[in-house]
């Protein structure tokens, strides 16, 4: 098997892919623009680079840049080599942009882990999961290569799924749990305790630090064993919280979010959003929170 891969981009996810695959015996080259800020880091880490806007000859690419850049990158790469095949780490651009207008093979290989965890678990010989899709793959001989690539990334549990399902589930989970409910409910709970005189450290431990501990236990044990394990106070408290928060209005809000994703409204609205402006606003909001200052004060003792 030819273990050669050209990775476009060198952000967090691309870096984790490059390191894991190189350590697994792959020949990795990093495609960047001529004046990319990532060139120095690539060379420091010992990776060969090439200008993907000019150089041809690569048969298999992993496109690991932001979604909004994919279409232009595919246009560029296709004009240089019409027989290349493309791997995507998630299905957004396959679903909502026009990358499929180009006739090459398009493959989904989506690790279900953030970049730091993908690398951490690989280094400690741990476990990670992911999904893949061959629905836009014409060259069937590539299947073995892609499955081997996933294994060499450190994915110990890989499951076939449609691109549409992966895309919708990814967007839905971010909006309903992972990047919304978890951090913001933790923040509001922390602030409420502080308003009622609870010390910053105690509020931090209860509302932020323990999120990781509880989530790890949930994932490790599964839902039934988790609720069998927790204390009587925690069990009764969970039922009280469930009865207050998870009512018909909550269900309707979930349906609205899912409808916006299914209908394409979210993708369309995203086109008019000034991402950098929103990012700065969110960053400023969180930097102003007492919770952030407490985290900075305690992180050396807890996380470093």
In whole angstroms, what is the distance from residue 90 CA to residue 194 CA?
A: 39
H or E element in which residue 250 lies:
helix 248-262
Find out whether 9 and 73 touch, Cβ atoms under 8 Å.
Answer: no
Cβ contact 121:141 at 8 Å: no
Q: What is the DSSP string of 63-122?
A: E-S-GGGHHHHHHHHHHH-TT-EEEESSSHHHHHSSGGGS-SEEEEEEESS-HHHHHHHH
d(Cα 88, Cα 65) in Å, to the nearest integer?
9
Verify whether residue 293 is a known catalytic residue.
no
- Residues in Cβ contact with 167 at an 8 Å cutoff, skipping those fewer than 6 apart: 90, 91, 92, 94, 95, 96
At residue 302, the 3 state secondary structure works out as helix
Choose, from 43, 58, 70, 90, the residue flagged as catalytic: 90
Q: Which residues of 16-36 are buried (b: 16+ CB within 10 A; e: fewer)?
A: bbbbbbbebebebbbbbeeeb
Pairing of strands 60-63, 48-51: unpaired
**Which helix (H) or strand (E) segment is 160 a member of?**
strand 155-160
Q: Is 86 in contact with 64 (CB distance < 8 Å)?
A: no
Catalytic residues: 90
């Amino acid at each position: 098997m030819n273990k050669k891969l050209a990775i476009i981009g060198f952000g967090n996810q691309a870096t984790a892919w490059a390191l894991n695959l190189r350590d697994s015996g792959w020949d990795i080259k990093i495609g960047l623009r001529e004046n990319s800020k990532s060139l120095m880091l690539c060379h420091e880490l010992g990776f060969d680079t090439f200008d993907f806007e000019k150089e041809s000859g690569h048969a298999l690419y992993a496109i690991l840049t932001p979604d909004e850049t994919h279409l232009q990158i595919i246009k560029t790469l296709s004009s240089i080599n019409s027989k290349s095949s493309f791997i995507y780490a998630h299905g957004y651009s396959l679903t909502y942009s026009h990358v499929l207008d180009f006739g090459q093979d398009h493959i989904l290989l989506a690790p279900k882990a953030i970049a730091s965890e993908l690398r951490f678990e690989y280094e400690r010989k741990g476990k990670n999961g992911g999904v893949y899709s061959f629905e836009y793959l014409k060259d069937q001989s590539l299947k073995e290569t892609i499955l081997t690539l996933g294994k060499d990334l450190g994915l110990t549990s890989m499951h076939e799924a449609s691109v549409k399902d992966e895309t919708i589930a990814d967007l839905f989970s971010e909006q309903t749990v992972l990047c919304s409910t978890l951090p913001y409910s933790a923040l509001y709970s922390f602030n409420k305790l502080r308003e009622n005189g609870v010390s910053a450290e105690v509020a931090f431990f209860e509302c932020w630090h323990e999120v990781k501990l509880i989530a790890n236990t949930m994932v490790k044990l599964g839902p039934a064993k988790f609720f069998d394990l927790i204390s009587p106070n925690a069990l009764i408290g969970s039922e009280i919280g469930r009865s207050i928060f998870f009512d018909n209005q909550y269900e309707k809000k979930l349906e609205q979010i899912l409808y916006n994703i299914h209908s394409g409204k979210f993708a369309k609205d995203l086109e008019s959003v000034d991402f950098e402006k929103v990012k700065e606003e969110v960053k400023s909001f969180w930097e102003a929170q007492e919770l952030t200052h407490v985290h900075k004060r305690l992180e050396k003792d807890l996380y470093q």
